[in-house]
Amino acid sequence: MTGYAYSLTMDVRDYECDIQGIVNNGVYQNYLEHARHEYLKEIGLDFADLASRGINLVVIRAELDYKLPLTSGDRFEIGVNMVRESKARFAFYQDIVRSSDGKLVLKAKIMGTALNERGRPSIPQELEPLLNQ
């Protein structure tokens, strides 16, 4: 997948599908979150370390546009880009694309912030270089 800071390939597991034989809508949020966490790990951002210092990364809004369903056994890629949206907010722009035909399955914009030890929005120092590119 080109045009993304990070991409992750996954496969649909049988138990993620509903009675219609397609991936349940809520499962896509798990896929997106897993890709975001893997991206942050890849760039050296440690959730456990941040939490131990009282800094928590949180989702404050999720916008998902479903285009096509995935079915059991489908392989897919999740692309991730992270962008500063304001002084205290960032967004992950994510796409899910079916590997077999390159078709767009889902577009997402996940808004987040970091809450400091006082519970106030504050971007941690570790994220600043990523958001100022």
Please tell me whether residue 129 adopts helix, strand or coil conformation: helix
- Report which residue type is found at 91: A
2: confidence class by pLDDT, cuts 50, 70, 90:
confident
* In the predicted structure, residue 91 carries a pLDDT above the cut 60: yes
Q: List pLDDT tens digits, range 33-74.
A: 999 999 998 988 887 888 888 889 999 999 999 999 999 999
Bigger pLDDT: 117 vs 78: 78
* Beta strands, E only, 23-71: 56-66
Rg (CA), the chain: 16
* Contact predicate 95/78, CB 8 Å: yes
**Which is catalytic among the residues 11, 14, 18, 46?**
18
Bigger pLDDT: 93 vs 117: 93
Q: List pLDDT tens digits, range 95-120.
A: 999 999 999 999 999 999 999 888 88
Catalytic site residue 101?
no
Bigger pLDDT: 66 vs 2: 66
For position 44, what pLDDT does the model report? 86
Let me know how long the chain is. 133
